[in-house]
Amino acid sequence: MRKLPKFLLVVALLALMLPGSLAQDATEITFATWGNTTELQMFNDMIAAFEELHPDVDVTILERPGQGYRDQTIVEMAAGTAPDVVRAGFRGDFAFYAHAGGTIDLSPYLEEGFSEDFFPAAWTIASVDGVPYGIPFMTDTHALFYNVDYIEQAGITVPTSMDDCWSWEEFSDMSRHAMDNSDADFGHAALWNGKRWMLFLYGNGGQVLTDDLSESTMDSEAAIETIAWTKSWYDDGLAPFSTSMKLSERADELFINGTIAFFISGSWHLPNLRENMVSQRWDITYLPCTENGVDADLGGNGFAVTRDSDNPEVAAEFVKFITNTENMKYFAEQAFFNPVRYSSLEGLSYPEFNDMMLLFAEVAETVDAHHASVQGLPLFPGIQNIIQDELDLAFVAGQSAEQTAQNIHDKINALLAEE
């Protein structure tokens, strides 16, 4: 048997001292997930620890590519052959599977107050109409990467706390200043999609939908202001047109090769930057903000139990185990994600990039719960496509902010009417 990480082994051995076990007869459950080599190894470690805890349970991991994972899961749910436990992303997967009748309400298997340890936005996105159809596991979010050499050339001092974040106007000024006073060809760029743009909308006090999620609010002044500001990146030449919504050139590659001074994106770039951005120094700081507050991009995923499971109690216990405080912290630290439990933040320490990852963790707590509720809708992929299609017209084709907001507003309302 594989040697278990010390804390996993301790948890398992202590549990064996307790009377009884989860299942009296041999029980098999299947767990479908995507993941890189590191993630899959950690899942296998967790499975081994769970099986130590419950000797009469066998968990089989089904390793699947992330590309096409959701489509395969949908087909299996329709056929009644879905695995016991599935991984679900924070782009409407939980609600989509639940509305399709493919997953189950986990309320009967959760202790009173179970949700209170989770970030509200993460718990919201794993729930449907207030009912938990999964348990959230990991999140990732955005910060502002910067080229240290360029910043020093330009004499720029970056914010050192969230309270000191640059305003939108200040960030644009700093981007221009870096462009004019360093070796950068452009000031900044983002690795865009419609979901990621929403962090600026909510940070500006706007919303995609009304509080009850029934209508679009994308014709609001806050939405128009947000569109106008992000459009100005391209109108003012601060960001290359090749990094608009419909990418032809990746912003992370431009940051690595020294084309841009600032880069807006997430923590998953850290290992790649370590490997490839070796000729120049880099670091991260807080995203620009407005007087309305701070919001963050909501990436991430969690787990759900399918209606096809013959052993939902065991499957739910497995999901609770892999998302417990210690396992969540362990996975986050090794895979460079942020946990979504407050208790998992205690003593959080990453083997590399610790200060950077702790900054990402701080930012991740700021995600607006309404932001999460919109992103959790089963039709969110359609909403995202509308946003990015219209924003691309604003960024590269000269469509006005007002017209862009109205088009998004009308098309989202049409999409809602189809439901």
Q: Which of 283, 290, 300 is nearest to 356 (CA)?
A: 283
Is the same domain home to 273 and 400?
A: yes
Question: What's the structural domain count of the chain?
Answer: 2
Residues 196 and 147 placed together within one structural domain of the fold: yes
Residue that finishes a domain, picked among 318, 336, 364: 364
Q: What is the C-alpha to C-alpha distance for residues 352 and 340, in angstroms, rounded to an integer?
A: 20
Residue 1 is assigned to a structural domain of this protein: no
Condensed to tens digits (0 to 9), the pLDDT of residues 190-239 reads: 999 999 999 999 999 999 999 999 999 999 999 999 999 999 999 999 99
Give a yes or no: residue 26 inside a domain.
yes
Q: Please tell me whether residues 165 and 230 are part of one structural domain.
A: yes
Shared-domain flag, residues 33 and 51 = yes
Please name every residue paired with 264 in a beta bridge, in sequence order, or none if there are none.
144, 190
Strand order in the sheet with 57-63: 57-63, 27-33, 85-89, 301-305, 135-139, 338-339
Q: Are residues 160 and 51 in the same domain?
A: no
Residue 370 located in a structural domain: no
Which tens digits make up the pLDDT trace of 106-162?
999 999 999 999 999 999 999 999 999 999 999 999 999 999 999 999 999 999 999
Residues 252, 223 share a domain: yes
Q: Is residue 371 part of a domain?
A: no
Q: Report the percent of the chain where pLDDT is more than 70.
A: 94
For residue 39 the two structure tokens come to 């993630």
CB under 8 Å to 281, separation ≥6 — which residues? 147, 148, 149
Per-residue model confidence (pLDDT) at position 390: 98
Closest to 261 in 3D by CA, of 274, 276, 277: 277
CATH number for 404: 3.40.190.10
Residues 271, 318: one domain? no
Domain that holds residue 222: 142-295+379-418
